[in-house]
């Protein structure tokens, strides 16, 4: 599967037991990005990052605090530096592009304390053309078997009061609207107070979650994140406004009283900074993936990227319920209204979605609320032992639904709501995945709604990181692909485990159905693609056509046009994309053709233009065909977008079908007004389109010859 | 089924054995239309028609010539006049509207020769608000058992040199382009010489086929036709340019040497003249149906109006063949090219169409070329005994295809190509329909390509009229609905036998694929709807999306835009409507949504505007719903069409999806350029749309509340 186009490694090892020098430098292959690493006169390890010879990250110190051990802080010396140049291409099983080039230069620096403890630490730093990553390695050493990390103190010293797009450093949830402020105006604790809709949220200090993206005054784009988060706590970034400094703040465990416990030797996740002169470069960057280990699962032929529909939005609209007792839908929870009196996951309803999928080039049907336990879900403290993930409600014939789906060529997507009781889920995991295996179901959407049980654990702490990864690896053994909601953030593990197909981990479409603040504003996705999406695929569930949610949800609506919703199938990357609205909202809509047609797996991705929080235009080439799809979205501002069709083949003529905002479209006043045209396009053509306020543009481009 | 809303008949009988008077008058219920009937001073029966007190048909004589009998010509006296006023409503099993009002006044005039033969003749004349009809009745009488009619001499004396839309009075085919000329410029025999594409054609004199439509200088519209053509020869109208007179010319039989043979008593078909001040009134008129007998079949629950696709267009494009030997497609016949090497009607291909139909709200799949015999078809003289209508080719598993269709909810439409060998067909009819009954197939498309066998018979003569009607009645016994191609013209028999669902009988879509004259010009349908369509449903097979037939037919194309093709689903009435193009031409086309959505059965039909040969806009309300569909087409001229949404309900809001020619659309230069928009409309709204040259407009309108 992984085709190494070429592999070129140079290793220069300057191995000596004594201090070799006090600073090491590594430059990216194109030499634009430079990391300097050293220890200062007090033996404090630090690094600095330059881009085109200008400082991007000023002198930033590194350190750790431990339980039962003195901290790693100073008194270090460099004992060896190993330099490596690496250049290898690998193919994605599914992804934004067929082939990824992993090209970097690395220095691995061995440090040792000059104090009597003489503890060792290795720091590995990689310079890519599109950013930098570094990780800590704790080597085997005498006197230390296990480390209990109380704090990691990795600094990111900024060079100015950048504009930042951030969400609070919530230990339980990423489901926040992005804020656009200067660094000095980041006020996560104030924002925390506005939460009215999150079932689980804990924001202990003025920190932000990653990816957090910034733009400097000179227009350089930086995005801070981490890669390969394995057996470690998730990292938030604490804000030091005075010093314009971010410092790692690991998510902790109130139950265990520490952040991370590891036996030596071990490596931390990579701390990453993507760097790009234009905003689109952040999206095109594959550095996060490159910092992960190669594919361990092979071709994963049992999972194919797909579009799907499902019994889901109807619960958010309050039309039907998860539980058979018909008490539990989002109207009952968020609006204090009476629930519908209708269970959603019935055999009959599932078949209705299967029929719709079969007719519309949609590969999967998700059925939520199919299994017993939903009457004891959100709002209950004692959620362990409730769900068993194998017992259907009596009005849902799981086997018959799967059989009917197979007959129609439609895959059923399993649903496992753990209700944030991971111990119960782990006990049931083998049984649950065995059932799936026996039915030939190869994908599961998992959910972790609510505060984690046991109390004191948080969604993003080491204990839960390990749970999420365990579920992913166990699922792979049963040939099950995982789409986790309320997940740990993506850190590129999909490269290593391509059964990790997608995840939520952002404020999704469903907030538009009931959020007390009126839903996601028009700008939401034009920030998300430059922040959350840098970490990995998003199961955002786009494609709402009944924008005003009429007649189900008075006072709520989706705050975009329909054309914007269509564009999201291209703008957002995920190998699974939901057509989230009710089938009846799509019936009779010519614009639905775009959803039928649009691909979910790609040979190529090009960001044509974009500015964080304002707009973005992305072109993607369908895997294995000559078809292209273009998506463009704007925020609340109307704008003209020019699409330069330079990505097309020279010798071909293409039919483009343009789905654009009609002249009178507007996200609030006329959101469903869409205009569809076809035109012939060729390489080099340049076309300008108007995007309405909150609007979008979706284009399918297919060769005619 | 037939709900008589009320029935009101007044009969005034002035029965006396002596001559009562020399002229009788009957006026339409609204008194605008008047027929005067009398005998002149030589005893010659005549009639005159007035509209709003102006002469529309001047004194026109009536008469017959017989074999072995003197003609009916003069020496008649009126012996009795019976007047009737009739007002009854009846419901259509399927149709342009739910309920039809049949309201007329009638005089039935008994004539008797004053000569020694004393033969009797009755003439029944009806005045409707929308035109007139009259028929002859030959009562039982002494000395005459059987009449052999050599000629019927019914005159229609015009009042001016009207503009006429006409096709030649071909005894074998109606598949001619319409000519637009003054009466004095009608030159059917010159036109006859231009035939290069008709396998059967016989035009013995300067006559026209009916319906023939005219517009007087004062703007009055007249259309001449006949109703209830049963056991009689079809009528053409001979042109007397000098006297501006049309005279009935029955289609004859060279084999039998006469026009009609009947035993007494019998009635002729109705001779009809539809009269309307505006062109649209002709389309709205239901007079032809009202002149037929009520429904004899009841509810006909076994047939439901449907859209269909089929293995048909691919033969016209030369992609596949009817025969398994792969010699027979339209490229081989019309272009003298090599045929494809692929049989169209394979099990696999049929299933492909079934899958497409199942996905797209299309009820039926027609499969042509499924049965043995096609290698001995067009171009062969000895065509009797070739087709048996029950033996599939070995690569076509009829039962499996039907089973697969049923599984997918799709009906198979049977195909019977008689190759104009009706004796063979009549011998096989019971066997063929029995097979259909056993398979649960309830519709057949029949074909009569080529000159009739036996030689000397013509498609439109009495012998064939009887064959067509026999097939229709026999089919009804087996619960089979009939869609006849190369048929006798429609004369309203669908009222009596609602299993007569549609027919060809015009120059259809297929001419665009191969006609030597470049296909149907853009104006074609804007004449057809005011001429051919007045007789009854048309199986025109609209919906070609691959307008340029690329890459199959260089030099041929459909001479309209795609929007025009869509509009035809509303503009043309038929309870079966083909989506004629290849599935691959529809895949990915948002405009195909209109074909998915459009209804095929109606509660109401309104002609919003139109001029014969120029344009027409029709609104139809879907049966049993509140959905409306609007179709508008234009000829080669671009024009603006205003749609006045007065037909909508007062208290409703509607979503309209507009499928219109894009600004750059043109039937030749840019025929596939279509623009799709949605808008909210309410009763009273007025919207203006541009139709491209050869363009069209299709609108679906559905209530949102």
| Residue the block writes with tokens 């007079």 | B287
| Residue the block writes with tokens 């669908």 | B494
B663 CA: distance to closest CA in chain A (Å): 10
With 90 as the cut, is the pLDDT of residue B615 above it? yes
If asked whether residues A501 and A517 sit together in one domain, one would say: no
Give the DSSP H or E segment for B527: helix B524-528
SS (H, E, C) B540-563: CCCCCCCCCCCCCCCCCCCCCCHH
Q: At what angle do helices A398-408 and A347-359 cross, to 10 degrees?
A: 10
- Is residue A471 situated within a structural domain? yes
With 60 as the cut, is the pLDDT of residue A85 above it? yes
Model confidence band, residue A19 (pLDDT cutoffs 50, 70, 90): low
Q: Which of B539, B567, B592 is the last residue of a domain?
A: B592
Residue A2 pLDDT: 37
Please answer yes or no on whether A593 and B596 come within 8 Å at the CB atom: no
The span from the CA of B50 to the CA of B44, in Å, is 20
Catalytic hit among B96, B152, B155, B510? B510
B562 CA: distance to closest CA in chain A (Å): 11
With 90 as the cut, is the pLDDT of residue A242 above it? yes
pLDDT digits (tens, 9 = 90+) for A123-166: 999 999 999 999 999 999 988 999 999 999 999 999 999 999 99
Burial track B471-504 (b if 16+ CB lie within 10 A, e otherwise): bbbbbbebbbbbbbbbbbbbbbbbbbbbbbbbbb
Output the CA angle B649-B652-B655, nearest 5 degrees: 105
Comparing alpha-carbon positions, the chain A residue that sits nearest to B663 is: A677
The span from the CA of B704 to the CA of B686, in Å, is 19
Nearest one of B208, B267, B263 to B238, comparing CA atoms? B208
- Is residue B681 situated within a structural domain? no
Residue B334 pLDDT: 82
Comparing alpha-carbon positions, the chain B residue that sits nearest to A664 is: B679
Contact present, B116 and B40 (Cβ < 8 Å) = no
Question: Which CATH number is A452's domain given?
Answer: 3.20.20.70
With 80 as the cut, is the pLDDT of residue A689 above it? yes
The span from the CA of B509 to the CA of B528, in Å, is 12
Comparing alpha-carbon positions, the chain B residue that sits nearest to A673 is: B678
If asked whether residues A521 and A397 sit together in one domain, one would say: no
Residue to test with chain A: of B551, B590, B654, B670, most A Cβ within 10 A? B590
Model confidence band, residue A337 (pLDDT cutoffs 50, 70, 90): confident
Please answer yes or no on whether A679 and B700 come within 8 Å at the CB atom: no
Residue A378 pLDDT: 86
Answer yes or no: is the ipTM higher than 0.90: no
Of chain A, the percentage scoring pLDDT greater than 70 comes to 97
Counting beta carbons within 10 angstroms of the beta carbon of residue B704, is it exposed (0 to 12), middle (13 to 18) or buried (19 or more)?
Answer: exposed
Q: First CA to last CA across chain A, in angstroms?
A: 31
Comparing alpha-carbon positions, the chain A residue that sits nearest to B674 is: A677
Residue to test with chain A: of B676, B687, B692, most A Cβ within 10 A? B676
Comparing alpha-carbon positions, the chain A residue that sits nearest to B592 is: A590
pTM here is 0.90
- Is residue B222 situated within a structural domain? yes
B676 CA: distance to closest CA in chain A (Å): 5
With 90 as the cut, is the pLDDT of residue A336 above it? no
The span from the CA of A627 to the CA of B39, in Å, is 77
Comparing alpha-carbon positions, the chain A residue that sits nearest to B408 is: A408
pLDDT digits (tens, 9 = 90+) for A661-677: 999 999 999 999 999 99
Say which of B358, B674, B700 has its CB closest to residue A678: B674
- Is residue B438 situated within a structural domain? yes
If asked whether residues A660 and A515 sit together in one domain, one would say: yes
Q: At what angle do helices A462-477 and A422-439 cross, to 10 degrees?
A: 10
pLDDT digits (tens, 9 = 90+) for B617-668: 999 999 999 999 999 999 999 999 999 999 999 999 999 999 999 999 999 9
Strand pairing of A76-91 and A64-66? unpaired
Q: Is the dihedral of CA B358, B362, B363, B364 positive or negative?
A: negative
The span from the CA of B593 to the CA of A595, in Å, is 13
With 70 as the cut, is the pLDDT of residue A10 above it? no
| Residue the block writes with tokens 């801070």 | A224
What is the phi/psi pair of residue B212, to 5°? -120, 130
Contact list in B for residue A673 (CB cut-off 8 A) is 677-679
| Paired tokens of B684 | 């009273």
Model confidence band, residue A20 (pLDDT cutoffs 50, 70, 90): low
If asked whether residues A481 and A533 sit together in one domain, one would say: no
Give the DSSP H or E segment for A569: helix A562-571
pLDDT digits (tens, 9 = 90+) for A47-73: 999 999 999 999 999 999 999 999 999
Distant-in-sequence, close-in-space partners of A407: CB < 8 Å, separation ≥ 6: none
pLDDT digits (tens, 9 = 90+) for A361-375: 999 999 999 999 999
Nearest one of A315, A313, A405 to A364, comparing CA atoms? A405
Say which of A672, A676, A700 has its CB closest to residue B675: A676
If asked whether residues B216 and B328 sit together in one domain, one would say: no
Average pLDDT over residues B245-255: 97
Average pLDDT over residues A226-252: 98
If asked whether residues B71 and B122 sit together in one domain, one would say: yes
- Is residue B642 situated within a structural domain? no
Q: At what angle do helices B347-359 and B398-408 cross, to 10 degrees?
A: 10
Question: Which CATH number is B266's domain given?
Answer: 2.70.98.10
Contact present, B602 and B620 (Cβ < 8 Å) = yes
pLDDT digits (tens, 9 = 90+) for B42-101: 999 999 999 999 999 999 999 999 999 999 999 999 999 999 999 999 999 999 999 999
If asked whether residues B283 and B246 sit together in one domain, one would say: yes
- Is residue B500 situated within a structural domain? yes
Please answer yes or no on whether A677 and B672 come within 8 Å at the CB atom: no
CA dist list (Å): A115 to A119, A120, A136, B170, B175: 8, 11, 20, 113, 104
Please answer yes or no on whether A592 and B589 come within 8 Å at the CB atom: no
Model confidence band, residue A18 (pLDDT cutoffs 50, 70, 90): low
Contact present, A29 and A104 (Cβ < 8 Å) = yes
With 50 as the cut, is the pLDDT of residue A15 above it? no
Q: Which of B290, B314, B337 is the last residue of a domain?
A: B290
Enumerate chain A positions whose Cβ falls within 8 A of a Cβ in B: 358-360, 550, 588-594, 596-597, 657, 659, 662, 672-679, 700, 702, 704
The span from the CA of A443 to the CA of A354, in Å, is 16
Burial track B258-282 (b if 16+ CB lie within 10 A, e otherwise): bbbbbeeebbbbbbbbbbbeebbbb
Contact list in B for residue A700 (CB cut-off 8 A) is 588
With 50 as the cut, is the pLDDT of residue A629 above it? yes
If asked whether residues A540 and A630 sit together in one domain, one would say: yes
Contact present, B346 and B396 (Cβ < 8 Å) = yes
Residue contacts between A and B (CB atoms, under 8 Å): 67
Contact list in A for residue B594 (CB cut-off 8 A) is 590
DSSP string, A331-396: HHHHS-PPPPS-BS--HHHHHHHHHHHHHTT--EEEE-S-BTTGGG-TT-S--TT---SS-B-TT-
B545 CA: distance to closest CA in chain A (Å): 12
| Paired tokens of A525 | 């996705």
Please answer yes or no on whether A702 and B591 come within 8 Å at the CB atom: no
Domain count, chain A: 3
Q: Which of B568, B592, B616 is the last residue of a domain?
A: B592
What count of Cα atoms within 13 Å lies in the side-chain half-sphere of residue A9?
A: 12
Say which of B359, B672, B678 has its CB closest to residue A674: B678
Distant-in-sequence, close-in-space partners of B456: CB < 8 Å, separation ≥ 6: B253, B254, B255, B256
Residue to test with chain B: of A661, A678, A689, most B Cβ within 10 A? A678
| Paired tokens of B521 | 């010009």
Torsion of CA B68, B70, B76, B79, to 10 degrees: -20
**Helix, strand, coil percentages in chain B from 3-state DSSP, rounded to 5:** 15, 35, 50
Give the DSSP H or E segment for B58: strand B54-61
Comparing alpha-carbon positions, the chain A residue that sits nearest to B550 is: A704
pLDDT digits (tens, 9 = 90+) for B152-210: 999 999 999 999 999 999 999 999 999 999 999 999 999 999 999 999 999 999 999 99
pLDDT digits (tens, 9 = 90+) for B104-153: 999 999 999 998 889 999 999 999 999 999 999 999 998 899 999 999 99
With 50 as the cut, is the pLDDT of residue A547 above it? yes
Average pLDDT over residues B507-527: 96
pLDDT digits (tens, 9 = 90+) for B443-486: 999 999 999 999 999 999 999 999 999 999 999 999 999 999 99
pLDDT digits (tens, 9 = 90+) for A184-199: 999 999 999 999 999 9
Enumerate chain B positions whose Cβ falls within 8 A of a Cβ in A: 358-360, 550, 588-594, 596-597, 657, 659, 662, 672-679, 700, 702, 704
- In 10 A of CB B17, how many CB atoms? 9
Strand pairing of B212-215 and B221-227? antiparallel
If asked whether residues B79 and B162 sit together in one domain, one would say: yes
If asked whether residues B460 and B496 sit together in one domain, one would say: yes
Catalytic residues of A: 510
The span from the CA of B585 to the CA of B582, in Å, is 5
The span from the CA of A596 to the CA of A356, in Å, is 11
pLDDT digits (tens, 9 = 90+) for A493-532: 999 999 999 999 999 999 999 999 999 999 999 999 999 9
Comparing alpha-carbon positions, the chain B residue that sits nearest to A592 is: B590
Domain housing B259: 10-290
- Is residue A5 situated within a structural domain? no
Coil/strand/helix, residue A76: strand
Average pLDDT over residues A528-544: 98
The span from the CA of B172 to the CA of B182, in Å, is 25
With 70 as the cut, is the pLDDT of residue A4 above it? no
With 70 as the cut, is the pLDDT of residue B11 above it? no
If asked whether residues B148 and B205 sit together in one domain, one would say: yes
- Is residue A95 situated within a structural domain? yes
Residue B331 pLDDT: 84
Average pLDDT over residues B562-566: 98
Residue B18 pLDDT: 52
Say which of A358, A589, A679 has its CB closest to residue B593: A589
DSSP string, B351-364: HHHHHHHHHTT--E
Please answer yes or no on whether A678 and B679 come within 8 Å at the CB atom: no
Say which of A588, A592, A678 has its CB closest to residue B700: A588
Please answer yes or no on whether A590 and B588 come within 8 Å at the CB atom: no
The span from the CA of B92 to the CA of B90, in Å, is 7
Please answer yes or no on whether A591 and B590 come within 8 Å at the CB atom: yes
Say which of B358, B596, B672 has its CB closest to residue A678: B672
Contact present, B475 and B433 (Cβ < 8 Å) = yes
Q: Is the dihedral of CA A243, A246, A248, A250 positive or negative?
A: positive
Residue to test with chain A: of B355, B677, B679, B703, most A Cβ within 10 A? B677
Residue A259 pLDDT: 98
Say which of B593, B657, B679 has its CB closest to residue A593: B593
Average of per-residue pLDDT values in chain A: 95
The span from the CA of B204 to the CA of B188, in Å, is 9
If asked whether residues B28 and B166 sit together in one domain, one would say: yes
pLDDT digits (tens, 9 = 90+) for A469-500: 999 999 999 999 999 999 999 999 999 999 99
- In 10 A of CB B10, how many CB atoms? 10
The span from the CA of A522 to the CA of A519, in Å, is 9
């Amino acid at each position: 599967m992984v085709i190494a186009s070429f592999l070129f490694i140079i290793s220069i090892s300057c191995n000596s037991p004594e201090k070799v020098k006090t600073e090491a430098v590594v430059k990216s292959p194109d030499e634009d990005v430079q990391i300097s690493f050293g220890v200062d006169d007090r033996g404090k390890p630090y690094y600095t990052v330059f881009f085109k010879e200008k400082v991007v990250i000023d002198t930033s110190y590194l350190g750790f605090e431990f339980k039962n051990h003195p901290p790693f802080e100073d008194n270090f010396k460099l004992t060896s530096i190993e330099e490596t140049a690496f250049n290898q291409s690998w193919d994605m099983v599914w992804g934004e592009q067929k082939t990824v080039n992993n090209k970097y230069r690395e220095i691995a620096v061995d440090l040792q304390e000059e104090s009597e403890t003489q503890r060792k630490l290795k720091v590995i730093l990689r310079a890519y053309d599109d950013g930098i990553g570094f990780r800590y390695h704790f080597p085997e050493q005498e006197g230390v078997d296990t480390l209990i990390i109380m704090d990691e103190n990795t600094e990111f010293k900024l060079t100015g009061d950048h504009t930042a797009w951030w969400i609070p450093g919530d230990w339980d949830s990423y489901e926040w609207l992005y804020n656009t402020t200067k660094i000095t105006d980041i006020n996560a604790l104030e924002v925390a107070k506005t939460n009215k809709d999150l079932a689980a949220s804990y924001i202990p200090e003025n920190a932000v979650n990653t990816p957090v993206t910034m733009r400097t005054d000179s227009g350089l784009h930086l995005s801070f994140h981490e890669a390969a988060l394995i057996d470690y706590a998730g990292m938030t970034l604490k804000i030091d406004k005075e010093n314009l400094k971010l410092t790692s703040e690991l998510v902790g465990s109130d139950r265990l009283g520490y952040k991370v416990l590891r036996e030596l030797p071990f490596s931390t996740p990579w701390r990453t900074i993507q760097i790009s002169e234009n905003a689109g470069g952040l999206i095109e960057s594959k550095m996060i993936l490159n910092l992960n280990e190669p594919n361990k699962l092979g071709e994963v032929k049992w999972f194919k990227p797909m579009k799907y529909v499902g019994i889901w939005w109807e619960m958010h609209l309050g039309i039907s319920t998860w539980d058979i007792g018909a008490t539990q839908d989002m109207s009952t929870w968020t609006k204090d209204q009476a629930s519908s009196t209708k269970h959603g996951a019935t055999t009959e309803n599932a078949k209705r979605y299967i029929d719709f999928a079969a007719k519309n080039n949609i590969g999967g049907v998700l059925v939520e609320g199919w299994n017993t336990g939903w009457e004891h879900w959100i709002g209950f403290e004692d959620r362990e032992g409730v769900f068993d993930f194998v017992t259907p409600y009596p009005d849902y014939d799981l086997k018959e639904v799967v059989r009917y789906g197979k007959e129609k060529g439609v895959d059923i997507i399993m649903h496992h709501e753990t209700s944030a009781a991971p111990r119960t889920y782990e006990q049931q995991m083998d049984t649950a995945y065995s059932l799936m295996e026996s039915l030939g179901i190869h994908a599961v959407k998992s959910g972790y709604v609510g505060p984690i049980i046991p109390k004191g654990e948080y969604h993003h702490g080491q204990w839960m990181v390990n749970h999420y990864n365990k579920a992913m690896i166990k699922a792979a053994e049963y040939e099950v692909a995982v789409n986790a909601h309320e997940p740990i953030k993506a850190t590129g593990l999909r490269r290593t485990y391509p059964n990790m197909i997608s995840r939520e981990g952002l404020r999704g479409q469903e907030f538009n159905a009931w959020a007390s603040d009126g839903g996601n504003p028009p700008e939401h996705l034009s920030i998300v693609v430059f922040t959350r999406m840098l970490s990995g695929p998003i199961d955002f569930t786009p494609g709402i056509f009944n924008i005003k949610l009429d007649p189900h949800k008075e006072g709520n609506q989706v705050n975009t046009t329909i054309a914007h919703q269509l564009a999201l199938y291209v703008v957002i990357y995920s190998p699974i994309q939901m057509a989230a609205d009710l089938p009846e909202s799509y019936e009779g809509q010519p614009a639905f053709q775009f959803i039928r047609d649009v691909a979910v797996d790609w040979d190529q991705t090009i960001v044509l233009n974009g500015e964080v929080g304002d707009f973005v235009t992305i072109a993607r080439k369908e895997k294995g065909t000559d078809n292209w799809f273009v998506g463009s979205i704007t925020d609340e501002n109307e704008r003209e977008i020019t699409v330069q069709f330079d990505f097309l083949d020279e010798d071909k003529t293409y039919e483009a079908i343009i789905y654009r905002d009609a002249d009178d479209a507007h996200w609030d006043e006329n959101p469903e007004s869409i205009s569809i045209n076809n035109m012939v396009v060729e390489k080099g053509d340049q076309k300008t389109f108007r995007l309405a306020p909150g609007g979008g543009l979706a284009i399918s481009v297919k060769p005619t010859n």
